[in-house]
Chains A and B, each alone.
Chain A
Amino acid sequence: MSTSREQAVSAAFVELADTLVADFDIVDLLHTLAVRCVELLDVHAAGVMVTDQRGHLRVMASSSERVHLVELFEVESAAGPCVECFATGQPVSDTDLRVVDSRWARFSHRAGEAGFAAVHAVPMRLRDDVIGVLNLFSTQSGSLTADDAFLGRALANVTTIGVLQQRAIHDGQRVVEQLQGALNSRVVIEQAKGVLSERLKLDMHDAFGTIRRYARRTNRRLSDVALDVIDDRLDTAVLLPAD
């Protein structure tokens, strides 16, 4: 690994580990994981799904908020390698999407149309708890390199610990509370993207970026800012940068 990549990897771990404090923002953490995966691994898109506790995987974060990518993850969450990965707690890959796997034919076709040739599902787990799946999409067929597979697992593990939060590991109910809260936060954020998109005439990707930048600038959670946007407690003018 080159020095600059090493530095980038270290920085990513520090960033993820920094979230092990009270009051952190799960949605933002998972978004960071998705973005860092695309930067550090030889993959072109990443999506994070978590269990909704009702038997389904739900998309919580994506390396890009472009509608087509998010919808591709949604299709995969219904039938795709991630479903098997979640059920078994083991990594599952489809190394050549052009050879349609009957278990997820619809997903294979959609992914192929989007230009992806392979998908790798990495479990987000801690011992017996599997809380979700990290999905890595590549435009090249084949397996992940050993380095990337290892790094992908490490990133997923650190993120899982972040979500479970050390103190909650032994209490399954706290995990449920946090995940359910995060799932609703995701809906709040989507609703806020719609509100901003209409008010400021932005596309959804830019609407998300606007909320995220403001949240970072004011050190607030994404979902709290999003709630303020929806409940008209924030003048949308303050969301735009001064210059």
Chain B
Amino acid sequence: MCDACVRHLPGISGVGVAVMKRLPAQAIRYASNPVSAQIEQLQVLLGEGPCVDAFSSGQPVLASDLGQVAWGRRWPAFVPEALAAGARALFALPLQIGAARVGVMDLHREAPGWLPGGDLADALVFADATTQALLIEAHARDVQDVPDLYQSYHAVVHQATGMVKVQLNVSIAEALVRLRAYAYAEERSIEDVAHDVVGRRLRFDELSD
């Protein structure tokens, strides 16, 4: 997926993905080239950088030019090293569905400049897909049980996720996966299942397993 991301976005030199639970613990999951790998490693080592900020804030951090003074002030240890490694623009996208935060995807470019609208949209879609893959991998009993975890636009799905989290006494991330697995097994849409949960017609702690 990350290879596809790099190929698809001509304005990007490389992609790295870090999986994080609680700072500072994190694992570098993927890097498309040595510069990406170095960027990820630097942030782990130094404990600062766009990736770190994006994860803790839940907001993307889009640094179109690391050479700008403000970024150097924000990450005094990271910026000189990143520039030396060959990264001039860095875009960190948190990998998350609400409170289920699984890591960050960093895209970098050797030349400074913004991420244009179309590329940003594509990068966000890739980030969404990566989020889903990581969550499924971490929480599905069998990856075959859960084909995807799309980012729903329907409030009822997120509300049902919260309810399932309490009913099963699991993390919100696992609740997301379990809800999706159930809908897939029952061949129903996730919105339908969510309506039943929120309407109190279906309780996950009453399902025989």
Identify the A interface with B (CB < 8 A).
52-56, 58-59, 67, 70-71, 74, 77, 172-174, 176-178, 180-181, 184-185, 187-188, 190-199, 204, 223, 226-227, 230-231
The CA of A188 and the CA of B88, in the complex, are separated in Å by 33
B97, B99, B125, B164, most chain A CB atoms within 10 A: B99
B120 at the interface (CB under 8 A from A): yes
The CA of A188 and the CA of B62, in the complex, are separated in Å by 22
Q: Are A195 and B59 in contact (CB under 8 A)?
A: no
The CA of A195 and the CA of B98, in the complex, are separated in Å by 13
User: How far in angstroms is the closest Cβ of chain B from A236?
Assistant: 10
Contact of A197 among B97, B117, B154, B162 (CB under 8 A): B162
- Find chain B residues with CB under 8 A from A187 CB: 97-99, 158
Q: Are A178 and B59 in contact (CB under 8 A)?
A: yes
- Find chain A residues with CB under 8 A from B198 CB: 67, 194, 197, 204
Q: Are B165 and A54 in contact (CB under 8 A)?
A: no
User: How far in angstroms is the closest Cβ of chain A from B181?
Assistant: 18
Q: Are A181 and B60 in contact (CB under 8 A)?
A: yes
Contact of A190 among B57, B61, B98, B125 (CB under 8 A): B98
Residue of B nearest to A172 (CB): B114
Given contacts A77-B153, A181-B59, A190-B155, contact A231 B162 (CB under 8 A): no
Identify the B interface with A (CB < 8 A).
57-62, 64, 94, 96-99, 114-115, 117, 120-121, 124-125, 153-156, 158-167, 172, 198
The CA of A180 and the CA of B58, in the complex, are separated in Å by 9
Q: Are B59 and A193 in contact (CB under 8 A)?
A: no
Residue of B nearest to A226 (CB): B99
Q: Are B153 and A184 in contact (CB under 8 A)?
A: no
11 A-B contact pairs sorted by A residue (CB < 8 Å): A59-B155, A71-B156, A74-B154, A77-B153, A172-B114, A173-B64, A173-B115, A177-B60, A191-B158, A195-B166, A198-B163
User: How far in angstroms is the closest Cβ of chain B from A181?
Assistant: 3
User: How far in angstroms is the closest Cβ of chain B from A46?
Assistant: 16
Q: Are B98 and A191 in contact (CB under 8 A)?
A: yes
- Find chain B residues with CB under 8 A from A188 CB: 58, 98-99
- Find chain A residues with CB under 8 A from B64 CB: 173
The CA of A231 and the CA of B173, in the complex, are separated in Å by 11
A59, A172, A194, A198, most chain B CB atoms within 10 A: A194
Given contacts A184-B94, A230-B162, contact A177 B156 (CB under 8 A): no
Residue of A nearest to B164 (CB): A194
The CA of A193 and the CA of B29, in the complex, are separated in Å by 32
- Find chain B residues with CB under 8 A from A192 CB: 99, 162
Residue of A nearest to B93 (CB): A180
Q: Are B124 and A53 in contact (CB under 8 A)?
A: yes
- Find chain A residues with CB under 8 A from B61 CB: 177
User: How far in angstroms is the closest Cβ of chain B from A154?
Assistant: 28
Residue of A nearest to B154 (CB): A74
The CA of A195 and the CA of B121, in the complex, are separated in Å by 31
Q: Are B160 and A194 in contact (CB under 8 A)?
A: yes
- Find chain B residues with CB under 8 A from A197 CB: 159, 162-163, 198
Residue of B nearest to A73 (CB): B155
Residue of A nearest to B195 (CB): A67
The CA of A231 and the CA of B171, in the complex, are separated in Å by 8
- Find chain A residues with CB under 8 A from B60 CB: 176-177, 180-181
- Find chain A residues with CB under 8 A from B120 CB: 53, 176
User: How far in angstroms is the closest Cβ of chain B from A187?
Assistant: 3
- Find chain B residues with CB under 8 A from A55 CB: 121
The CA of A59 and the CA of B158, in the complex, are separated in Å by 13
A-B pairs with lowest CB-CB distance, top 6:
A194-B162, A181-B59, A187-B98, A190-B158, A194-B159, A195-B162
- Find chain B residues with CB under 8 A from A231 CB: 99
Contact of B163 among A174, A178, A194 (CB under 8 A): A194
The CA of A223 and the CA of B58, in the complex, are separated in Å by 10
Residue of A nearest to B92 (CB): A177
Given contacts A191-B161, A195-B163, A204-B198, contact A173 B114 (CB under 8 A): yes
